[in-house]
């Protein structure tokens, strides 16, 4: 299951590249400036795995100007390994696992700027409320995490108001509180950032 998001990203990015001719101009947002969206990576929740991510995301936004958008982003997920493990390192090995898992819930803001045609960049900030669980699924403690994302992507029109946004992101979390010692020991083996995370959002304008 760990490779499902990456494979889906590559397939749908190729499809999006072939649909560039359908990319809407910024002015097409004038009559439908609001939008709601989510991440197609939620499909990974359906994969057979003993450690499902329970990942869910909703974005609700507004077109401020022909090139500027602002949205509220709500995310929840569960993970069993440090977020900073880079590409090329196996997350499956037992020596990298937490002695349990982390569950997070967050609501934040994302600002998106259209650069040229469908190309865009964005930045978001989300404060996460965290729950730490042990291997028996018993809650150990609560904490907070401040999570930033800088993203570059491409906006592709699929239907009249439906759109797809493949992207790559740089994630950085400088603040994490009340981390249990055993979890902290694993986190300290890695950086507090992650490079080149694929993204694949779908949305509808109204």
How many domains does the chain divide into?
A: 1
CATH number for the domain spanning 43: value is 2.40.160.20
Domain that holds residue 59: 4-205
Per-residue tens of pLDDT for the chain, all 206 residues: 444 444 444 445 444 444 443 444 455 677 889 999 999 999 999 987 788 899 999 999 999 999 999 999 999 999 999 999 999 998 878 899 999 999 999 999 999 999 998 999 999 999 999 999 999 999 999 999 999 999 999 999 998 899 999 999 999 999 999 999 999 999 999 999 999 999 999 999 99
Q: pTM for this one?
A: 0.84
- CA distances to 33, 40, 179 from 85, rounded to whole Å, are 38, 22, 17
CB 66 within 8 A of CB 27: yes
């Amino acid at each position: 299951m760990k490779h499902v998001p990456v494979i889906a990203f590559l397939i749908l990015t190729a499809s999006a590249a072939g649909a560039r001719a359908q990319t809407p101009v910024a002015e097409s947002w004038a009559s439908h400036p609001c939008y709601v969206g989510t991440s197609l990576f939620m499909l990974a929740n359906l994969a057979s795995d003993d450690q499902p991510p329970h990942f869910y995301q909703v974005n609700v936004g507004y077109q401020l100007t022909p090139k500027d958008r602002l949205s509220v982003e709500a995310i929840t997920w569960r993970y069993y390994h440090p977020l900073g493990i880079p590409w090329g390192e196996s997350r499956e090995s037992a020596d990298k696992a937490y002695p349990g898992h982390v569950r997070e819930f967050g609501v934040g803001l994302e600002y998106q700027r259209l650069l040229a045609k469908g190309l865009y960049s964005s930045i978001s900030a989300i404060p996460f409320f965290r729950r730490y669980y042990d291997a028996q699924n018993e809650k150990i403690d609560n904490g907070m995490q401040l999570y930033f994302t800088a993203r570059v992507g491409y906006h592709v029109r699929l239907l009249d108001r439906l759109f797809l946004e493949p992207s790559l992101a740089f994630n950085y979390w400088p603040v994490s509180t009340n981390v249990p010692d055993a979890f902290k020991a694993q986190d300290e083996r890695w950086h507090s950032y992650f490079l080149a995370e694929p993204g694949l959002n779908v949305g509808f304008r109204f």
